[in-house]
Every structure is written in C-alpha cells, then in structure tokens.
Chains A and B, each alone.
Chain A
Amino acid sequence: MVKSTITFGPQHPVFPEPIQFILKVVDEKVVLAEPQIGYVHRGIEKAFELNDPKDNIFLAERICGICPAPHTTAYVRGVESLMGIEAPPRAKYIRTIMNELNRIHSHILWAGLLGDAIGFESYFMQTWNYREKVLDAIEKISGHRVTYAMNAIGGVRRDMTNEQLRGLEKTMDYVESSLENIEDVMKDYTIKKRTQGIGILTEEEARRDGAVGPTARASGISQDLRTSGYDAYGDLKFEPVVVNNCDSYGRFAVRWQELKQSIDLIRQCIVKMPSGEILTKSNNPMNGEAISRVEAPRGELFYYIKGNGSKKLERVKVRTPTFANIIPTVTMLSKGCQVADVSVIVLSMDPCISCTER
C-alpha cells in the first residue's frame, strides 16, 4: 500500500477561504486528514481589549462577514448583561428579524456552494439569485447588504417602519415560493448519490466531538439555543429541526427545513412586533464576567466577556461554531472517504474559516 500525502490549499478553487487540509491517502481513500489553519488570523480578540466597547460592535461584526447579526447580538448581549441593562422589546424583535434574515441568506448561500462543489452549477446560480432578494431586504432595513451595523449596546440603531415590515413580508413570500421551485433538487438522484452516506457522523460521535448547530441536529441531537428564549425567541413558536440521517444529506435537509422555519419566525415577528423605544441608554460601568450564547446559522456562538469597571474590556473570548465543528469534520474525513468527496464533506458542515481564526 502506497501512502501519499495530498495538500489542499491554502489557495484552492474549491474553498473560497484559505485553509489547508493535509490528506493522507491510500488508493484514493483518505485515511487521515489534518487541517492547517492560521491564514486568516487577525488578532481580533486582542483588538477587543484595545478599542472602545462601542467600536467593538463593528469589530465583532467583521469577525465573519456571513453572519454579522449573531456576532454583534452575542457581543452586545454580553456587554448589556455586564452593564445590567436590557434592550427594549421592540429592539429585541428587530434583532431577531435580523438574525433570521441572516440565517436565511447564510443557508441559501451554503446550498449554492454545495451545488458548486458537487458540480451542479445551475443550482448555484439559481440559489444565489434568490439570495439576492434577501440581501435587498436586508439593505432596505439596515442600509447595507453585508454588514448591517444594526445592533447597539442597549438596543438597535435603526427602527423599522411599517412599510419596511410589509415589504419584508412580501420578500418572505417571494423567498418561500422560490424555495419551493427548487425543492425538487432534494429528491434528485445525483444529489442523493453525492451526499447520502457521505461524511457519516453518528449521534455518539457528534456528542463525543462536540458538534454544534445543523451538524449536530443532522445527527439526531436536538440542540438549538434559540429554545432558551433569548431576545424574542421566547415569544415565538418553533421546534428545533432534527433529522437522523447522520450524513451530508441530513445536513442539507436540516438547513432546508431551517430556511422554512426562519421564514415562519420572521412572519411571527412581524405579527407580534411591539411598539416603543428601540434603545436603552446607559453609562453603567462594565464590571464582572458575562457569558452570552447565540444560535448562529452554523451553530452555537459563544462569547465570554470580562470587564474591570474601566472604560475598556479586559478580555473577550469568542468561540465560533466552526471551531467546534472542526473535530467532527476530521472524524468524518478520517473514515475512509474518497478524495473527490472531501470538498462535499468539508462543505457539509458549512465551514467559516475567518470566524474560526478571528
């Protein structure tokens, strides 16, 4: 048996982001996979300590350009609990809407990238076409397509008018109907062949390796932080999406159903939207420690924030969902998959390297 070593990356057409995978291969079968990271490390956690806490919101937003809403929500909620204040209800609903819009755009983006990795180019184009409508909705609300800058310490920066809410409802109708258009892809023979039974992660392994988010939920673990009822999620009705496929197809299915769930959650938010203030101003000192957890599109996002009563924070630690999902991915890869399936498996956990390395 000849064992050969293949290095994927850091600049590789399959991955939009620089990550290196060193694969030990025997006859096209992967026996060992080692991820090599560090190409996008910036040192954001240190910069959190140097900046003003208000400026840090924009820094937290730019940890990841795909999920700015969960990052800022987690940071802002942590600082709020240090200060002992709470956002007004309307602000919480707006935050929830932004988080769910973020989830929709992120999951559609992922579905497109999966199509691209499989070689299903027209699917990629079609999904990204629909995603553009979501981005337009986001831009109408927040003023920017990608970085929303909506959250502020103690609330949100922009209010939503009634027209915007109505426009959002229309967008949701559009997105729902267009998703129905491409739903058949889930039943497609080629997609099934490329994803079913590929990248298996059993429930036990998922628990042992600490998988989070859709990766865990596709392995039958019912774990969704939104059920803890932060922000407006306490008032909304939903059940975490759990399937038992334990493979890439299962992760596809979870994300697909979560898309519909998010559309439903946004509709509920629009109906229940309370009126009132959107910002609680406060100058309380930031003292003590806070942990804030938010369900990002890729899973549980964890912020630990420590303040010492001064104007700046003493320590901010960020643990992102992709970081938690790296070990499960290595487990999936090391089970003897084909080299051609590596990109599908890595994509199936929806890697976001820039937030992993910060």
Chain B
Amino acid sequence: MGIVEKSRLKSPWILHYDCSSCNGCDIEILACLTPYYDIERFGILSKGNPKHSDVLLVTGGVNHRNKTVLKNLYDQMPAPKVVIAIGACGSTGGIFHNCYNILGGADKIVPVDVYVPGCPPRPEAIIDGVVKALDKLKHLQNGTWKEPETGPIVVETAVGAKPAPAAKYANAAPAPTLNSQPTNKEA
C-alpha cells in the first residue's frame, strides 16, 4: 500500500448531503464532530466540497428534486469513494416509505456501501459505520473485497409439544438472539 492509500485510510474526509432527511440524522452527524464524540480524533474532517472528500454520508430518502443533486455530488467525488446511508430513511425510506415524493433509500440513485440503521442512529453507530466503510475501502484498495451475503438472517427458536425441563438448559449456552449475531459478522 502506497503512502497515498494509507493516508486516505488514516484521514478520510467526509461530505455530508442531506437528501430529504428530517434533520435528526444531520444533527447527529454534527454531534459526532463536537467534543462528546469528536471524530477528528481519527483524522475525519467534514468538508463541504465533494472534490475533497472520500466518504459521502447521505441522510434521508431521495426525492424527485434532489436525486440529480445527489448523483452530481457522487460523480464529482474522486475514486475510490464510499457511500454511507445514514438512518432508516437513507437506507430504505423508513417512515416516509409511503410519501409520494420519496423514491426510497439512497441506493436507488448511487451505490451504497454501508447502511447505518436507526432513526436517527446514535453518534456511536455513525462512527461504527464510518469505520466499516473505511474497512471496505481498505479491502477495495487491496483487491481483497468479498461481496457480503444478502440472504435473511434466520434465528430459530425451538418450540416443543412438551417444553423441556428447565434444569436441562441451565448450563446450556444461551439461545442465540438477533443481537448476539449481528449482520456484520457474517459479511
């Protein structure tokens, strides 16, 4: 890895575009910059200029008017670039899924690399999302990126005609839950 690639990973610059979000996600992104979460610790800077940026954060669902703006911003960013869809709206349209002016998540217009669930996601989750995106960027630069699985995550719970005696399970490992088996581990 050359020095340019390395420094890109060490200090990614962020461009934030508010598609049609409710501001909830935007103020959480701003909160990431402020002393409590302070992502400048990692060299992450928020830039207003697409040509300076490596990471595009999209909040809110895409609508008919701003789809061209989003595409335009994405095209202006120099490769390699990653796109992070923040929040339920940025990923799928969320609560606005049946509004007439919402086309859906950002992935309708630009390829999205990381989805951050939540409405709005906590700043912690946004930081996690950026870290994941950088991980992907690293793999893309090294050519070691593997496409993630896309099928549903199934957690099965046994039900029996007769419930098993409680003592039998006392020492067994706890039944897996969705949270102990998060999406990213398989991906």
Contact = CB atoms under 8 A, between A and B. Distances in A.
Please determine if A and B sit in direct contact within the complex, based on CB atoms under 8 angstroms apart.
yes
Interface of A: 10-13, 16-18, 38-44, 46-47, 50-51, 58-59, 62-66, 68, 109, 112, 124-126, 128-129, 132, 135, 145-147, 352, 354-355
A173 to B, nearest CB: 19
A43 B22 contact: no
B122 to A, nearest CB: 7
Given A50-B98, A128-B31, A39 B120 contact: no
Contacts of B34: 112, 124-125, 128-129, 132
Contact of B19 (A13, A40, A125, A132): A40
Contacts of A145: 28, 120, 122
Contacts of B36: 128-129, 132
B140 interface: no
A112 B35 CA distance: 12
B113 to A, nearest CB: 20
A47 B96 CA distance: 8
Contacts of B169: none
B27 A40 contact: no
B21 interface: yes
Interface residues of B, number: 39
Contacts of A44: 96, 99
Given A17-B18, A18-B18, A42-B99, A109 B27 contact: yes
Interface string B82-118: 0000000000000110111110000000000000000
Contact of A41 (B18, B48, B101): B101
17 contacts: A13-B49, A16-B27, A18-B19, A18-B69, A39-B63, A39-B69, A42-B20, A42-B63, A42-B101, A42-B102, A62-B95, A62-B119, A65-B23, A109-B27, A126-B35, A129-B36, A147-B120
A147 B19 CA distance: 19
A59 B48 contact: no
B30 to A, nearest CB: 7
A66 B18 CA distance: 14
B168 to A, nearest CB: 36
A58 B28 contact: no
A43 B65 CA distance: 12
A18 B24 contact: no
Nearest to A11: B17
A43 B102 contact: yes
Contacts of B19: 18, 40
B117 to A, nearest CB: 14
A65 B25 contact: yes
Contacts of B73: 11
B60 interface: yes
Contacts of A18: 17-19, 66, 69
Nearest to A132: B36
B54 interface: no
B45 to A, nearest CB: 12
Contacts of B120: 65, 145-147
Interface string B131-166: 000000000000000000000000000000000000
Nearest to A44: B99
